[in-house]
Amino acid sequence: MLTRIGLATVLALLTTTGAFAQTMRFTTNVGSFDMELNPNNDANLQPLVDNIVAYIGLGKYHFSAVNRAADGNAGTADDFVLQMGGFMGFPTTPDLWASLHTPVEKLNDGVVVDGNGDGTVDFSAISNTRGTISLALQSGQPNSGTSSFFINLGDNNFLDSQGFVPFARISDMTTIDKIMQLTQRDLSGQIGQSGNLAYTDVPITEDGRIVVVKSVQVVDAAEDFSFVGPIMNHLKLVADNEAAAAAAALAAQTQVAVDPLAVEAATPAVSAVPEPSTVALGALGLLGAFLAARRKPQA
């Protein structure tokens, strides 16, 4: 059994993260893209990085839907954002947390980037330009970002002053551009939320399927990279033997090998975090819309 001093040392190591540019590969049913986290090694961005690392480690993004492909009518010139990570594309599986006796509704209430609550971000960061990634927010609430994120398709620097902080970057946008070229459908009416921007531009593949994230793999990270620290930080687990054992057990289930040739079998296949009630309704709505879309003849 760990002594108090030994446990404190272990927890300190587990919960301490450095500003290292990790790269995660998101594979969808359209193709893959690599997300480089904290490309400039900015320590201010570490809470945002830890947030998404924790969600990845818990399998949050597996089978999550790409729900918003916001573009205009002038080709790629006025494309806006591609958003994902907020809704499941299919019904969730039984909660894996039940075996750990740790009830979890969501990781946190949002990543804090505005510590004094004045409505502005406390630090300067890179701008929302093409290929950068920011968390989706509730209107006017910089600290409301959780799992949903968007990829900037153009130079959207007007978002900088609205609390949207880019924390990652995609260099090769080939798959993103392919998704943007798909047919988009307004599914908001079928879901019962007519006009809701989260469902008005849902990209649909040629065979009538919603675009989903199939897996997330670690393709580049520091040798001491671990999901445990970010998971523990964001779940605010009690620092005792039981909490440490629970986090270690979960990490063992969800740890992804750094070797890109070995990660496919190790990547968790289901979401381990229950969706909040409103998102669960959205997930069921997306599933129904998905089934309807498959039955509906293509125009």
Q: Where are the domains of the chain?
A: 4-295
**For the chain, how many residues are written?**
299
Rounded distance, CA 257 to CA 118, Å?
41
* pLDDT for res 199: 85
The token pair that represents 251 in the structure block: 């990490």
pLDDT, tens digit (0-9, with 9 covering 90-100), for 16-31: 445 567 999 999 999 9
Do 68 and 82 touch, CB atoms closer than 8 A?
yes
Residue-level pLDDT at 286: 55
Residue 196's pLDDT is: 84
Q: Which residues of 122-155 are buried (b: 16+ CB within 10 A; e: fewer)?
A: eeebbebebbbbbbbbeeeebbbbbbbbbbbbbe
In which region does residue 280 sit, left (phi positive, over 0), alpha (psi from -120 to 50) or beta (all else)?
Answer: alpha
Q: In degrees rounded to 5, what are phi and psi of residue 96?
A: -70, -20
In terms of CATH, what superfamily is 4-295?
Cyclophilin-like (2.40.100.10)
pLDDT, one tens digit per residue, over 146-198 is 999 999 999 999 999 999 999 999 999 999 999 999 999 998 888 788 888 88
Strand partners, 61: none
pLDDT at 236: 60
Using 50 as the pLDDT threshold, list the residues of the chain that sit under it: 1-17, 92-105, 237-242, 253-285, 293-299
Structure tokens at 181: 């070229």
pTM of the model: 0.72
Nearby residues of 6 by Cβ (< 8 Å), 6 or more positions away: none
